[in-house]
């Protein structure tokens, strides 16, 4: 039981490049989330998926897109990376939206 | 919508001393409250949560928190800290409605440093 896994662990991009962050959970959870963590700002919700087949914007969705590929997988895409997207990205999942969230180990992204 | 304020960004504490990390929230509806811990270079993990019932909640690693509705607070305490408690601690709140669509709002975190 791996919990929530994220790939890659680290990534360096140049401004304008695109990439997809992958997230998978093996706990049969309905809800999945993408957060970014920046110093002094806590965690901010980018997008979430309440259940398979649905996605919704969070607090900071601009510059990102998501895909809930199936119940297990929820990917985050940066179409044209900007230095302001340098951050640590966390994926999380929960049985339902108001229940305990379980977090992945994070992806550290640097955009030059 | 809910909001969370963690009043201290950094708290240094001597080993074996007690610690209190403060959290205040704002909400127009009833709430669920959580404390998460993030060890260096790791993801977040749940320390404890308040959903209903007893206002004193016990969590892992000897931590506890007390829900105070009148003060809108959910402070985290430990009577004697250890070097291994060095981490960042996040308070979080969600609305306790029946709609099932409430999202978790995090505070900005408190970095706890244990001094040997």
Average pLDDT over residues B18-25: 97
Shortest distance between the Cα of B81 and any Cα of chain A, in A, equals 23
**Under a CB-based contact definition with an 8 Å cutoff, are residues B78 and B19 in contact?**
yes
Interface test mutation site (partner A, options B92, B104, B109, max chain A beta carbons within 10 A): B104
Q: Does B10 touch chain A (CB under 8 A)?
A: no
User: Residue B97 pLDDT > 90, yes or no?
Assistant: no
For residue A102, what are its two tokens? 């379980």
Reply yes or no on whether the pLDDT at B98 is more than 70. no
Angle (CA) B93-A20-B91 rounded to 5° is 15
Pick the residue from chain B with its C-alpha nearest to A47: B103
Residues B40 and A86 sit within 8 Å (Cβ to Cβ) = no
pLDDT band at B80 (very low <50, low <70, confident <90, very high): very high
pLDDT: which is higher, B95 or A66: A66
For A36, other C-beta atoms within 10 Å of its C-beta total 23
Contacts of A23 (CB under 8 A, 6+ apart): A4, A5, A6, A32, A34, A73, A74, A75, A76, A91, A104
Selecting from A45, A98, A103 the residue whose C-beta is nearest the C-beta of B44 gives: A103
**Residue in the structure block whose two tokens are 């680290």:** A10
Query: What residues of chain B lie within 8 A of the CB of A106, using their CB?
Result: 41-43
For residue A53, the model assigns a pLDDT of 87
Identify the band that residue B52 occupies on the pLDDT scale cut at 50, 70 and 90: confident
Residue A74's pLDDT is what?
97
Q: B54: which 2 tokens?
A: 């007893």
Splitting chain A (112 residues) into consecutive groups of 10 residues, what average pLDDT does each group show?
A: 91 97 96 93 92 91 95 96 97 86 95 96
3-state secondary structure of A84: helix
Name the phi and psi angles at B8, rounded to 5. -115, 125
Q: Which residues contact B38 (CB under 8 A, 6 or more apart)?
A: B44, B45, B87, B88, B89, B90, B109
Instruction: State which residue of chain A sits closest to B111, comparing Cα positions.
Output: A40
- B45·A97 Cβ contact <8 A: no
Contact A37, A55 (CB under 8 A): no
Looking at chain B, the whole-number percentage of residues with pLDDT higher than 70 is 95
Interface of B with A in 27-86 (CB under 8 A): 32, 34, 36, 41-46, 49
B66 CB neighbour count, 10 Å cutoff: 15
State yes or no: pLDDT of B100 exceeds 80: no
Q: How confident is the model at residue B45 (pLDDT cuts 50, 70, 90)?
A: very high
Residues of B in contact with A92 (CB under 8 A): 44
Q: Which of A42, A102, A105 to mutate to test the interface with B (most CBs of B within 10 A)?
A: A42
Q: What is the residue-wise DSSP string for B9-60?
A: SEEEEETTS-EEE--EEE-SS-EEEEEEEE-TTS-EEEEEEE-SS-SEEE-G
């Amino acid at each position: 039981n791996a919990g929530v896994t994220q790939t890659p662990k680290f990534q360096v991009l140049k401004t304008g490049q695109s990439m997809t962050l992958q997230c998978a959970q093996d706990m049969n959870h309905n809800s999945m989330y993408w957060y970014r963590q920046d110093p002094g700002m806590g965690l901010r919700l980018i997008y979430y998926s309440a259940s398979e087949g649905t996605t919704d914007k969070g607090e900071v969705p601009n510059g990102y897109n998501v895909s809930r590929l199936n119940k297990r997988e929820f990917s985050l895409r940066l179409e044209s990376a900007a230095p302001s997207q340098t951050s640590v990205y966390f994926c999380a999942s929960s049985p339902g939206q108001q229940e305990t969230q379980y977090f992945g180990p994070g992806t550290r992204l640097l955009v030059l | 919508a809910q909001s969370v304020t963690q009043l201290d960004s950094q708290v240094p504490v001597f080993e074996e001393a007690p610690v209190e990390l403060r959290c205040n929230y704002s909400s127009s509806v009833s709430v669920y409250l959580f404390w998460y811990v993030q060890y260096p270079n790791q993801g977040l993990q749940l320390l404890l949560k308040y959903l209903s019932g007893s206002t004193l909640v016990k969590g892992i690693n000897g931590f506890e928190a007390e829900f105070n509705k009148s003060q809108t607070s959910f402070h985290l305490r430990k009577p004697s800290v250890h070097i291994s408690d060095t981490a960042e601690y996040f308070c979080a709140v969600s609305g306790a409605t029946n709609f099932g669509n409430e999202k978790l709002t995090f505070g900005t975190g408190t970095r706890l440093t244990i001094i040997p």
